[in-house]
Structure 1
């Protein structure tokens, strides 16, 4: 198995755990507390992102964990999270659709952004 395939497999496993964390928080905020999908999605992302960043830095990319990398990762993925949540509000998507769409987009975009921008020095 090529390194990139191993990295992507690790990213997927960590992403599944992250997605579960994200989903529970999103549904709790939106359905349980009546908060909009945009803000619920952003809050859920914020809870799950630290786990994802540190786990991927350590297990997926074997990279140094720095504050600047963390901030860049959080900003990119946070904007993506808010944007998908905002679209869910505007187009009246059911919450499960918003969560599913964000999960799929963040899997692909998050991996590419992490590999090519955030952890590029550590990834051959």
Structure 2
């Protein structure tokens, strides 16, 4: 079980870095160049980055099919978190860099746990 848990870690790391880069770029374009509020920008950036990472993880890391309802659950939970962090930043006039840094750290930890222990829990056996 220990070897199985770490099998996909290098792929998850690369995909996570790409996910973060996509998220940060979209967030800063939306918020800085277009003037979208951080809550909306963080949510939109998350949705695009999450679609990328979910698709790539299913294809290359976990090599299993998952249901659309599981994908929607993931998007809902993490999307709500992204919007919430952005809303707090908007309310307290926090810099965008802090918003994406806090969300990226949260997304890394919670996203990995969600993929590994919820979406693809049957694969651990």
TM-score, length-normalised on structure 2? Answer: 0.90
Query: Who is 2:58 aligned against?
Result: 57
Aligned to 1:100: 101
List alignment gaps of at least 5 residues for structure 1. Answer: none
Deviations 1:42-80 (A, max 9, x none): 011111111111111222222213211211111111111
RMSD of the TM alignment (CA)? 1.6
Deviations 1:14-58 (A, max 9, x none): 011011111111001101111110000001111111111111122
Per mean C-alpha deviation after superposition, the further-off stretch among 33-42 and 53-62 is: 53-62
Change in 2 beyond 3 A, CA 1:87/1:8: farther
CA distance in 1, matches of 2:111, 2:14: 13
CA distance in 2, matches of 1:7, 1:93: 35
Q: How many residues align?
A: 124
Could you say which residue in structure 1 is the equivalent of 2:4?
3
TM-score (normalised: structure 1): 0.90
Alignment of 1:103-114 (within 5 A): 103-114=104-115
Distance across 1 between alignment mates of 2:6 and 2:34: 40
Deviation of the 1:90 alpha carbon: 2.1
Assess if the C-alpha contact under 8 Å between 1:57 and 1:64 holds in 2.
yes
Q: 2:18: which partner in 1? A: 17
Alpha-carbon deviation of 1:82? 0.9
Higher mean C-alpha deviation, range 104-113 or range 87-96: 87-96
